[in-house]
Amino acid sequence: MTCLYLNYFVHGIGLIILAQNMKELGDLWKQPLATVSYVISGIGIGKLFAYLVLGVLADRFGRKKFIYFGIICYLIFFSGMLIAPTIQIAYLLAILAGVANSALDTGTYPTFIELGKNNGSANILIKAFMSAGEFVLPLLVAFLENRELWFGWSFILPTFVLLINLGLFIPVKFPLANTITQVSQQGSLQLKAMKKNWLAVCLALYGYTSMAIMILYTQWISLYAQAELNFSNWQSHFLLSIYSIGSIVGVLIVFALLRKNVSETTLLLILNLLALVSLTLVCWGQNFNLLAIASFAFGVTAAGGVMKTGLNLFLKLFPRIKGLLTGIFFTFGSLALFSVPILTGWLSKTSVALALRSNMIICVIGLGLVMVTWGLLRNTTTLKTVRQRISLIDRGIIILLKRRFRAVDQVGQIKEQEHQPILDRAREQVILQKIAVESSDQQLVPYLQDIYRQIMKNSRNYQAANQREKNLNFEEKKH
């Protein structure tokens, strides 16, 4: 399934390629920056109209066909943008890029869930490949600018990657659509209808805010650094690249934590809070080193898989319509892609700083939605979480049993020295009676006593085995 991830390397490039080439594209179309910013909103339009339709169709006809469709649409977008004669044609191509993104998402995210193995963490790795694309492109754009080379090479790179990946993708086999594996069933949320509905609303809206804060940041941070802080071209692009590095680090952290079964709601709450703090430092800091650190931290917390974590939680609500849910979640994300460039383009007429700092309002709203989600799920249990609790208790029992067996060995040594028998029926009867007295739940008494009979039987066997081994060693030394 490596080819599925490689699609998202290209998608990471596609998300920011128009924003990173705004000046050059403005010159090509003879349009101001605000108009070019409106073209970027076409991506959101494409996603807005495509997600729900493609999600339903992917549930019905299978995932692979729609991933093919997404690859082809992206090929047309990257190659066509360089020869688009007018701003109107460019806007249509941006819409097509949004459709491509929708097709990839509705085909890929449910596929990893349906594979049923570490599904949450597998989806998080998608973000790592997106972040890799977002990291590579600004450096490539800066290199082309500094060497005064044609900006179009930044569009040709993803075109070649897609063509290679298309060949890798053809032989890949997919699971049946909407398969509910034992793993995903254990993690599904068993909730009352009203609570599910409120959670669905909160998580769908979170699809908007989590996408909006990333899109706004990647669109304006480099221009903000140049226009408001007078940073050099290299420094301005570096802030975006270090953000992308942070997002890759964040993905690895979230991936590791999810594999350790850390709660998604806990992750969402902590990451969104830290994202707000780091964004505040970016928006009001003046020193380049401080902004670089804050930009890295913002990448870790806001773009390190937190949106995908929200999607994983959303998919657990209704596991039989994963394609549709993915479509709903990213439809709200596409609203962000459509509305944020328009809103910030209008704000940028006042100042670029105002455009960037408006991101703080969105970040606060996202944190509020996560807090509501956390509150609704605070006392919710699933088969998976109960088994996690049992596993934790079992680890404690194992530690205590190891200590008990060490004490049993000492008892055996003392009995051997005093020539006492291993079996002491009176002592065992006292233990069983003590269990009956001390147990607060009398219904459990016979089960607890049976467990302790087995423990005491194995303790006797352990003592006898140790004595035989000791006697054998003594005989060997004697001879």
pLDDT tens-digit map of 304-334? 888 988 988 888 777 777 778 888 888 888 7
| SS3 sequence of the chain | CHHHHHHHHHHHHHHHHHHHCHHHHHHHHCCCHHHHHHHHHHHHHHHHHHHHHHHHHHHHHCCHHHHHHHHHHHHHHHHHHCCCCCHHHHHHHHHHHHHHHHHHHHHHHHHHHHHCCCHHHHHHHHHHHHHHHHHHHHHHHHHHHHCCCCCCHHHHHHHHHHHHHHHHHCCCCCCCCCCCCHHHHHHCCCCCHHHHHHHHHHHHHHHHHHHHHHHHHHHHHHHHHHHCCCCCHHHHHHHHHHHHHHHHHHHHHHHHHHHCCCCHHHHHHHHHHHHHHHHHHHHHCCCHHHHHHHHHHHHHHHCCCHHHHHHHHHHCCCCCCHHHHHHHHHHHHHHHHHHHHHHHHHHHCCCHHHHHHCHHHHHHHHHHHHHHHHHHHCCCCCHHHHHHHHHHHHHHHHHHHHHHHHHHHHHHHHHHHCCCCCCCHHHHHHHHHHHHHHCCCHHHHHHHHHHHHHHHHHHHHHHHHHHHHHHHHHHHHHC
283-297 per-position pLDDT tens digit: 999 999 999 999 999
What span, in angstroms and rounded, lies between the C-alpha atoms of 74 and 241?
Answer: 23
Model pTM above 0.85: no
Distance from C-alpha of 59 to C-alpha of 92, rounded to nearest angstrom: 27
**Domain 2-380 bears CATH identifier 1.20.1250.20:** yes
CA 169 to chain centre: 23
Name the superfamily (CATH) of residues 386-478.
Answer: Chorismate mutase (1.20.59.10)
| CB distance 211 to 339 below 8 Å | no
Question: Which amino acid, 74?
Answer: Y
Report domain extents, the chain.
2-380, 386-478
Tokens at residue 424, please? 């002491």
For 382, phi then psi, to 5°, come to -130, 170
Inter-CA distances, 207 with 224, 262, 416, Å: 25, 21, 70
Task: Please choose, from the candidates 246, 263, 25, the residue with its C-alpha nearest in 3D space to the C-alpha of residue 131.
Answer: 246
Nearest to 246 by CA among 271, 220, 270, 225: 271
pLDDT of the chain, 479 residues: tens digit per residue: 677 888 889 988 988 888 888 888 888 888 887 788 788 878 878 877 887 788 778 777 777 888 889 999 999 999 998 888 888 899 999 999 989 988 888 888 777 766 654 445 667 778 778 878 888 888 888 888 888 888 889 999 899 999 988 888 887 776 565 555 444 444 455 567 788 888 889 999 999 999 999 989 988 898 899 889 989 888 888 898 899 889 889 988 988 888 887 888 889 999 999 999 999 999 999 999 999 999 999 999 998 888 988 988 888 777 777 778 888 888 888 788 778 888 998 998 899 999 999 999 999 999 999 999 998 887 666 666 677 778 889 989 999 999 999 998 888 888 888 888 888 888 889 998 998 888 888 888 899 889 999 999 998 898 888 888 877 776 666 65
